[in-house]
Structure 1
Amino acid sequence: MSIVAGSDCVTLVEDSESGSSRRSIFTSLYPLAEWVAYNWWFLKADSRPATALSRLPARYSALWSGYGEKYRARHGLRGVGDGFLWPDLFIMPEGDTTRIIWAADKGGVADGRPVRFLTSGNVSVDGNLLMQRLSNFVDSVIDRLREQGVGDTPLAAEWAIIRGADSDESSFCLAAARLGLDPYSEALKYADEIVRTSEQLSDPDLLGDFLDVVDPDKIAGTLSWVSAVKSEIDALTSRPSGDVAELKSLARLSPEWNELRPWELGWEQAKLVRSSMGLGQDQAFDIERLLADVTRPTNTLGIHALGQLKDGVLPLLVVSHRQTDASKRFVLARALWHVLWRNTSTFLVTSAYTDRQKTERAFAAEILAPAQGIASRLVDDAVHSGLEDSALVELAGHFRVSTLLVQHQIENQLIQTWQP
């Protein structure tokens, strides 16, 4: 069996007997097919591992093998077990795309292992295409077994349940997986709350953002918070929103953006907004005049804010936790992305890390502290030689953002090849 992710061979190994390398491993396919079937809904919809991975700086993603241990059983091939040595690979949904990250084995092959996996990688692939490939793989294993007269297997039984799920069952299973719960066992105690949440948060994006971050034991309380703040927003009045309405009329997707990665799209959208407002690259962005906000604490840390649009008035954002000025400005900027680029009246700003959140985060960073604006305030070769803490603080103070945001802008846009 060989596995290729993007242009990289995951199963490139060094053989202990011959000392040579090869691009495939000799193994039984049944355990892997069974693992895919048993974890189907997680591989399709559970973005929580991707959120956890996002907390590691990009240059430290190789540490994920140990950091992500709690997700290995459901997202890592070494959770397959059955006595075979599988590559140390994780499959993590991120919305329309899926993150595949794997690590090479340390040391040599003298420790008794038959092979040593040689490559490491971190690639993003089309999520639907990946699931189709995995589905075809499971079908092929089941067909091969049937050809050998072996039809009654746990794999075949599990796959038949998945294949036979109707629309309502599939929706429940996907919702459970987004909560990090097995839909056939762990989610049963939360079934009523999952159904109630799906009914109350009918917009798919709103529902998905909620499920991606809420603690299953806090569903009821967090749902009550959402209902309460929505009612409060309905009762509040706000000043006219002429500036926002004008900006929204200019927010048009360009055909040239179709091939951009999520974060690149966010950067381009931010550049369009700043240009439409006539802002120079080194000017701070006055986000506070475009959105109003109030703070109403919630018991779910993953929810940063809830926003709601009302015709003719300034968009109002309910922030869920007290934050520093820089942190709140970032939340407001992420909310502005929803206001300008999404056609929904109610939205959440959360800690999740799907493709859409990548876009809104990149938009927020670029609109608050443009990369070229940062570069224009640097001297000599400071970008590549490294910045003193005092320089980061000065830049952050000028743009009224955190030093971490400035550092991310430098690493993500100003340094072409970042070397740790």
Structure 2
Amino acid sequence: MNSLSLNFKWLTSGNDSPEIQQTMGMFGLRVGDISLTQNEDTFSQTIRDTVLVSAYPLAAWIASSWWRLLFEPLPPTNAKPSVNWRMAHELTAANQGFIWPRVILASDTELMQIWSTPSKAVEQQSVRYINSIEGSCSINLHEFERTAETFIETVISRLKATGVDNTPLANLWQEVQEERSDRYASQYRRCEAELGFEPDECPESLVEDTLNLAKQIGSKTLSELAPACSKDLSEAQPLSEILKQIQSSGLTGNPDISIDDSVNPDTPQAPWQRANKVASRLRDAIDIRENLITDYKLYDLLGLGKSEYEAWTPPRRQHISVAVPLNENRFNFHLRKKHPIAKRFELARLIGDYLLYGNRENREASWLTSTDLRTSRQKYQRAFAAEFLCPLSSLQDYLDNDYSESAIEDAGDHFQVSSQTVESILANNGLISSPQSVSDSEASLPY
């Protein structure tokens, strides 16, 4: 796991406001072994690992974005983030006249994911940042929280030591601290963030309705659903899609799946590692070996009736799939995919979700949820579905070292998955390059 460091070597300079002047210094931001502040000073034509800026605007930005940084995930890959989202997740929003590296931060509920690209060559600036992260780096979410907290408090201590007290930053951080220590206030702020709102900008009635819904479906379930129906992604009121699915009739299924349950959703492994382990165990349990997973086997594993499922017509457009737990291990499935290949992948995702999250004694924790978000749980589902429907070993045997476009398309037809799924499996295992070329600096960003 990578580490994050935010370092300042104080160097009082300038004649700006006291908060800025007393927190000037050489700033170093490092993720693992990569210095994201390594830069070329275009005036002196020197390269340094640190840059002269003020710590105050950065600390103020982190404090003001605190809840959204920790609890608001990336939007789906097919949705461009709003300006509002970017202001809470892109470090350049710290601004105040300083040149910051282009760094994006977004939580997946387990890890803080970090992306960065170098400065564009066409930008005429005194500082040009050199390094980038290929793809992304991730650090433990709790480590990020501790590092950010230490940084903010160091800046406040610096100001107090230089006689600058009662600053907006100190007052804001005091509010955040009080909210963190109060269970209800913390839930309230998290709910606002998951719905895509700044603190105190979400209608109070909507937050109250959302918190009441969490009592019914469980807070973990809501944390998967609410961001998918946030104000930026949903065409209607943020909760309306969730409520419609809960209150409408769906397809009743009685999953009949049993594997060694030694894999736990809280196990500290990457989502794809958990997914591959669970998928392999399920294939062994149902004795499928290298055979193709048929549609009927997918119906059977979820206890869905063939005729009922094939006659099911999902609503015109939905952002979420939900399986509501009933009694005796039955679920009311609300599905959303229409294309035959997409339907297979959706069913496989829900099978994976049931195995790791749904087969629990606590009814509130057993809801199944599938969305287009990039949270840890949804990453696990996608990786499980890919490995279950198209195991890497079987795929390699089928391709026989032929990774051409036509061979990948043929493999998709053979395993009845999309060619994009085949490409992802191969790229994730280093057998082909990523469809997004890393030679393009923008490909290193998530949008």
Give TM class, smaller chain: 0.7 to 0.9
Partner of 2:323: 306
> Are 1:412 and 2:431 counterparts?
no
Of 193, 198, 206, the match for 1:182: 198
The alpha carbon displacement at 1:226 in A equals 3.4
Q: What is the percentage of aligned positions where both structures have the same residue?
A: 23
1:6-405 pair list within 5 angstroms: 6-47=32-73, 50-52=74-76, 54-55=77-78, 71-107=85-121, 111=124, 113-121=125-133, 122-165=136-179, 166-188=182-204, 190-201=206-217, 203-216=218-231, 217-229=236-248, 232=249, 244=256, 247-253=257-263, 260-285=269-294, 286-291=297-302, 292=304, 294=309, 295=312, 297=314, 301-308=318-325, 310-311=327-328, 315-319=331-335, 321-342=336-357, 343=360, 344-379=365-400, 381-383=401-403, 386-388=404-406, 391-405=407-421
Gaps of 5+ in 1: 57-63
The superposition leaves residues 93-125 of structure 1 with CA deviations (integer Å, 9 ceiling, x where unpaired) of 11110111011012178x2x2211001112011
The separation in 2 between residues aligned to 1:299 and 1:199, in whole angstroms, is 29
The separation in 2 between residues aligned to 1:405 and 1:45, in whole angstroms, is 28
Could you tell me which amino acid in structure 2 is paired with residue 31 of structure 1? P
The separation in 2 between residues aligned to 1:29 and 1:74, in whole angstroms, is 17
SS in 1 for 2:58: helix
The separation in 1 between residues aligned to 2:267 and 2:102, in whole angstroms, is 33
Gaps of 5+ in 2: 1-26, 438-447
The separation in 2 between residues aligned to 1:333 and 1:307, in whole angstroms, is 17
Q: Mean Cα displacement is larger for which, 340-349 or 270-279?
A: 340-349
The separation in 1 between residues aligned to 2:341 and 2:299, in whole angstroms, is 12
The alpha carbon displacement at 1:362 in A equals 0.3
Q: TM (normalized to structure 2)? A: 0.79
Q: TM (normalized to structure 1)? A: 0.84
Aligned length: 388
The alpha carbon displacement at 1:416 in A equals 6.5
SS in 1 for 2:75: helix
Describe the shift of the 1:387–1:309 C-alpha distance in structure 2 as closer, same or farther (beyond 3 A). farther
Describe the shift of the 1:84–1:387 C-alpha distance in structure 2 as closer, same or farther (beyond 3 A). same
Describe the shift of the 1:169–1:330 C-alpha distance in structure 2 as closer, same or farther (beyond 3 A). same
Question: Is the Cα contact below 8 Å between 1:392 and 1:403 reproduced in 2?
Answer: yes
Partner of 1:60: none
The separation in 1 between residues aligned to 2:90 and 2:110, in whole angstroms, is 20
The alpha carbon displacement at 1:387 in A equals 2.4
The alpha carbon displacement at 1:307 in A equals 4.5
Describe the shift of the 1:300–1:80 C-alpha distance in structure 2 as closer, same or farther (beyond 3 A). farther
Structure showing the higher helix proportion among its residues: 1
Question: Is the Cα contact below 8 Å between 2:85 and 2:196 reproduced in 1?
Answer: no
Partner of 2:13: none
Describe the shift of the 1:26–1:399 C-alpha distance in structure 2 as closer, same or farther (beyond 3 A). same
Question: How large is the RMSD of aligned CA atoms in angstroms?
Answer: 2.8
The alpha carbon displacement at 1:400 in A equals 1.9
